[in-house]
Amino acid sequence: MISKKSVDDVLQTAKVEEVISDYVNLKKSGSNLLGLCPFHHEKTPSFSVSPSKNIYKCFGCGKAGGPVQFIMEHESSTFPEAVKYLAKKYNISIEEITESKSDEAYQEELKRESYSLINEFANNVFQESLFQHPQGKTIGLAYFKERGFLESTIKKFSLGFAPDQKNFLAEKCITNGYNADTLKELGLLNKNNQDFFSGRVIFPITNISGKVIAFSGRKLSNTDFGPKYINSPETPLYIKSKVLYGLHLAKAAIRSKDECLLVEGYTDVISMHQAGIQHVVASSGTSLTVDQIRLIKRFTPNIKIVYDGDEAGIKATMRALDMILEENMNVRMAILPTPEDPDSFLKKNGSSAFESFLQDKSVDFVLFKASLIKRDTKNDPIKKSEGITDIIQTISKIPDAIKRSTYIQVCAEELAVSEEVLIRETNRMIKKDLISRRSKQFTDQERSVPSPAQDDADYLKDPQHDTLSTEEDEYQERSLIRVLILYGHLMMDAGMEKTLAQYINENMDNLEEEFNNKLYERILKEYIHQLSENRVINTDYFIGHADPDIRNLTIELSTSPFNYSHNWADRWEMELQTQKPPDENYVNDCYQSILRFKLKKVQKMIKANKLLLDSTGEEEMQQLIYLKTQHELLNYRNTIADLLGMRVFS
């Protein structure tokens, strides 16, 4: 278990904007930063990061937290794993203390940590074997050097070699205390407890953070038994469809270039990096998936796919490219001359020529598709109509109406077809797709990707995680707790030597037990307890709270999709006449919140007492008691209403 001191060191050091910018392209928006949410699909940015508060909040899906919560959510990691990741990022030493636990969550945490440790150990063994084992030097290293890889490049990508020995890795792992069953779960051993990757060069596969999560092994001879590449099985750490090879090394360059190059193979990525072209990733030997597309979209909306000259292969994969358009991204294709691939083209022509080719010879995907249809269906009306239907299907996937209109105009001219026909058929396709999606939404328990015709606002918060309730006193209770959390540590007006929290505590009039929302009641009681211990706590205390409900509520109250504008005051040199800006209005906010809370509660008491009065029948003594109580409550209500400047009719 990580010591509290180490956790506190990480929490105090980690900056949310630095952590998140490793994963999301953030842009300045007032005092905050804004980007596309990495936790749900969206077309317009609603993911806000507040450096001053050290928190993030998505106003689309509701995800919120600090640096640790971001890593936990993004990497599907446990709290200790997230703390250790941030400690490594900020060079903070972690102090471990022993603790005996047997619960399922703890065992799962241990298993994940064990997977990570074994993968890291195996990766070190493979790298060491490449440079020090006789087979590694004569076979593995020779292969990489034959490919033209420099030693610095080999080390940059942590390339390795698995000696052609049945138990080379197994013995090293077991000697170091690693369990054979866990090694098999990770695919490092086969069912016979022998090395799975023996006799192959190794390409470690990492997540977006650079942590090794799997391996791919390539055989070195066509006479060797087995497929050219073999890969680790999927584990809780590694889901192939959600991984892009080289992304951890490419993400900064992708953000800088505002473009991602997508290639097919590991060696293509490595060769291009060595040539200085670093904004490149590979789809890890799988067909491109929606999850992989969305990974790229976090850093740029622009994808350029680099193909070799195999036209049959290009046509076979073109349907999958509609998924990129559906994500409102821009797709271009750079088709290398036959029989070149990126690696061979670079070796033959150099990096400058390659970059020029990518710049000058790339074509828009939709226009390329239209040109192929025109070329292949010249004298065949049936094939041409099928091709036009296909291009309509592609255009209909584009969410942006202006882009759709532009493509319709260009494709109508290219294919010599009426623009009106394309518009009508595209709209029909969109409507058909929308009906299909809505039908699916009714049958699914959870919502999936929205249709292009839907707005991002269609994403509703999960009611299970919503801190709001439908109780009638909700808003007054929430307002009071908001003031307490955000401003409770600040001083009241000059001359009053007490904080807002102290003032609220002294003026609750024993109503703290009247909260309907139990979360708000817990917060109030905890604050009062901290006051009794003479502790001053602020918003940060609740943002870092162990209770996720309290933490999430605090972030929700601390953030807003809107920023207060000082333009009026700055331009006209005059303040608003009716009220101060929010960050200066907290004292009045405090008064108002207490009074409105009391007013709501006393109105509720008046109704309850009236019911009791009506039910007394002929019991005069009981009637007198309830009448007196009613009179006192009405006077109390009217006093509060006067202070609020309100008139109550009853």
Q: From the DSSP assignment, how many helices (H) and strands (E) are in the chain?
A: 29, 14
List, for residues 504-525, the tens digit of each pLDDT value.
888 877 776 778 888 888 898 8
The whole-angstrom separation of Cα 54 and Cα 621 is 60
Q: Worst-scoring range by mean pLDDT, 111-120, 418-427, 480-489, 552-561?
A: 552-561
Beta bridge partners of 33: 28, 49
Query: Residue 462: its pLDDT value, please?
Result: 36
Query: Residue 564: its pLDDT value, please?
Result: 55
Coil/strand/helix, residue 333: strand
Q: Worst-scoring range by mean pLDDT, 115-129, 517-531, 568-582?
A: 568-582
Give the pLDDT mean for 387-410. Answer: 93
Burial class (CB in 10 A: 0-12, 13-18, 19+), 372: middle
Query: Residue 108: its pLDDT value, please?
Result: 74
Selected residue with higher pLDDT from 566 and 80: 80
Coil/strand/helix, residue 579: coil
Under 8 Å between Cβ of 202 and 188: no
The whole-angstrom separation of Cα 543 and Cα 540 is 5
Q: Quote the percentage of the chain above a pLDDT of 90.
A: 38
List, for residues 54-81, the tens digit of each pLDDT value.
889 888 888 888 898 898 888 777 788 8
Q: Minimal CA–CA distance to 304: which of 333, 342, 324, 340?
A: 333
Tell me phi and psi for residue 562, to 5 degrees.
-115, 145
Under 8 Å between Cβ of 268 and 282: yes
Beta bridge partners of 262: 281, 305
Q: How far is CA 447 from CA 45, 438, 441, 444, in A?
A: 19, 10, 6, 7
| Mode of pairing for the β-strands spanning 330-335 and 302-307 | parallel
Selected residue with higher pLDDT from 72 and 155: 155
List, for residues 235-249, the tens digit of each pLDDT value.
989 999 999 999 999
Under 8 Å between Cβ of 293 and 367: no
Give the pLDDT mean for 449-456. Answer: 36
Query: Residue 448: its pLDDT value, please?
Result: 40
Under 8 Å between Cβ of 378 and 387: no
| 493: CB partners within 8 A, 6+ apart | 587
Residue 461 has pLDDT above 50, yes or no: no
Residue 442 has pLDDT above 70, yes or no: no
List the chain domain ranges: 4-89, 113-238, 253-361, 366-439, 474-644
List, for residues 256-307, the tens digit of each pLDDT value.
899 999 998 899 999 999 999 999 999 876 788 998 998 898 889 999 999 8
Fold of 113-238: DNA primase DNAg catalytic core, N-terminal domain (3.90.980)
| 96: CB partners within 8 A, 6+ apart | 1, 2, 3
Residue 569 has pLDDT above 80, yes or no: no
Query: Residue 451: its pLDDT value, please?
Result: 37
Determine how many CB atoms are found less than 10 A away from the CB of residue 580. Answer: 13
Place of tokens 């101060």: 580
Does the predicted TM-score (pTM) go above 0.85?
Answer: no
Query: Residue 201: its pLDDT value, please?
Result: 97
Q: Does domain 253-361 have CATH number 3.30.950.10?
A: no
Q: Worst-scoring range by mean pLDDT, 7-11, 43-47, 443-447?
A: 443-447
Reading the block at residue 97, the tokens are 């203390």
The whole-angstrom separation of Cα 324 and Cα 450 is 14
Q: Worst-scoring range by mean pLDDT, 400-404, 476-480, 549-553, 569-573?
A: 569-573
**SS3 sequence of 41-108:** CCCCCCEEEECCCCEEEECCCCCEECHHHHHHHHHCCCHHHHHHHHHHHCCCCCCECCCCCCCHHHHH
List, for residues 629-647, the tens digit of each pLDDT value.
889 889 888 888 888 888 7
Query: Residue 467: its pLDDT value, please?
Result: 36
Q: Order of strands, edge to edge, in the sheet holding 260-263?
A: 280-282, 260-263, 302-307, 330-335, 363-364
Which residues of 323-374 form beta strands (DSSP E)? 330-335, 363-364
Query: Residue 456: its pLDDT value, please?
Result: 33
Q: Quote the percentage of the chain above a pLDDT of 70.
A: 86
Fold of 4-89: DNA Primase; Chain A (3.90.580)
Query: Residue 276: its pLDDT value, please?
Result: 94
The whole-angstrom separation of Cα 289 and Cα 282 is 12
Q: Worst-scoring range by mean pLDDT, 97-106, 144-153, 251-260?
A: 97-106
Reading the block at residue 585, the tokens are 């209005």
Q: How confident is the model at residue 104 (pLDDT cuts 50, 70, 90)?
A: low
Helix axes 342-349, 266-274, angle to 10 degrees: 30
Reading the block at residue 556, the tokens are 């929700």
Query: Residue 497: its pLDDT value, please?
Result: 77
| Mode of pairing for the β-strands spanning 302-307 and 260-263 | parallel
Residue 566 has pLDDT above 70, yes or no: no
